């Protein structure tokens, strides 16, 4: 029997990227109704590794899960009365707060250029991922996302600031990406998963050709027709040959998702101990 709307665990994740999607999968497995809230900055490029495209096509599948688009708070509230599922929406946090109290609120946008908001008191538990979070300033729990350091920040430190150094894929770092040199409208006819070659034209930003940075498989690319700001990733080429991955969750996404769900379990256990001893 499904739980009433006031009992179903309700999680809101800010972001529709591959990290937000990997966390969403973990939470729906744990019994949550999960809503992924879209933020346009930075644009999502690893779209075959995320639920992002459900915003445009009603549904999108990642592994065995299908995310459904919802367009208003009533649809979200109704979903809370059904079995755990993943929803994706254009609605922002201010639109979702009136639906019902939020059990877990996670900022998975991994913003490197903007000031992170104070999430505390907006949900029973708030979690900040990546640069700009501290459990004493703007969230209840901070999670480090830097490769090699993924995990809970167990003291009052801030998570590491963005240093502009891209993580390695194979032996390749930042040179596998192309960044927007200016703001504009992006157009591309190339699909993710296509084999590309260095200097092949992969799209145009406001009419200016954008070339492949190297040979490999197109792992990610901003959606055709997107308005993009300056200085963000437009596309990524996976140089690993037959080991290239452009679909499903990857090791980093799963590691961050595991750290996030560990934080939820830890805080839930602490809260239970507090109430039992009170």
Query: Under CATH, what is the fold of the domain 174-239?
Result: OB fold (Dihydrolipoamide Acetyltransferase, E2P) (2.40.50)
Domain boundaries, the chain: 10-162+250-277, 174-239
| pTM over cut 0.85 | yes
CATH number for the domain running over 10-162+250-277: 3.40.50
Tens digits of pLDDT across the chain (278 residues): 445 566 789 999 999 999 999 999 999 999 999 999 998 878 999 999 999 999 998 889 999 999 999 999 999 999 999 999 999 999 999 999 999 999 999 999 988 767 788 999 999 999 999 888 998 899 999 999 988 888 878 777 888 787 677 777 778 878 999 999 999 999 999 999 999 999 999 999 999 999 999 999 999 999 999 999 999 999 999 999 889 999 999 999 999 999 999 999 888 877 655 444 44
| Residue 11, φ and ψ in degrees, nearest 5 | -120, 135
Whether 10-162+250-277 and 174-239 share one fold: the answer is no
Buried b (16+ CB within 10 A) or exposed e, 1-31: eeeebeebbbbbbbbbbbbbbbbbbbbbeee
Query: How far is residue 125's CA from residue 127's CA, in Å, rounded to a whole number?
Result: 7
Nearest to 42 by CA among 238, 231, 236, 237: 231
Which DSSP helix (H) or strand (E) runs through 12? Answer: strand 10-14
**DSSP strands (E only) in 138-251:** 141-144, 151-153, 177-179, 184-187, 195-196, 201-205, 208-211, 216-221, 227-228, 233-238
DSSP-assigned letter for residue 237: E
């Amino acid at each position: 029997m499904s739980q009433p709307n006031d009992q179903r665990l309700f999680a809101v994740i800010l972001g529709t990227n591959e990290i937000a999607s990997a966390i969403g999968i973990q939470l729906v497995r744990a019994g949550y109704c999960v809503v992924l809230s879209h933020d346009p900055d930075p644009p999502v490029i690893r779209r075959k590794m995320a639920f992002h495209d459900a915003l445009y096509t009603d549904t999108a599948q990642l592994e065995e899960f299908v995310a459904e688009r919802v367009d208003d708070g009533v649809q979200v509230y109704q979903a809370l009365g059904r079995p755990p599922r993943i929803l994706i929406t254009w609605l922002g946090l201010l639109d979702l707060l009136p639906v019902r109290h939020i059990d877990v609120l996670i900022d998975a946008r991994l913003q490197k250029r903007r000031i992170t908001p104070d999430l505390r008191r907006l949900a029973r538990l708030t979690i900040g991922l990546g640069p700009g979070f501290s459990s004493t300033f703007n969230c209840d729990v901070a999670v480090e996302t830097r490769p090699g350091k993924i995990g809970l920040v167990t003291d009052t430190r801030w998570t590491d600031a963005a240093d502009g150094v891209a993580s390695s894929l194979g032996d390749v770092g930042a040179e596998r990406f192309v960044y927007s040199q200016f703001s504009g409208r992006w157009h591309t006819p190339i699909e993710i998963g296509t084999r590309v070659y260095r200097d092949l034209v992969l799209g145009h930003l406001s009419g200016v050709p954008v070339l492949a940075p190297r040979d490999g498989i197109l792992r990610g690319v901003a959606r055709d027709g997107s308005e993009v700001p300056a200085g963000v990733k437009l596309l990524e080429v996976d140089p690993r040959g037959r080991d290239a991955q452009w679909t499903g969750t990857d090791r980093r996404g799963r590691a961050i998702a595991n750290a996030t769900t560990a934080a939820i379990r830890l805080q839930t256990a602490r809260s239970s101990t507090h109430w039992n001893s009170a």
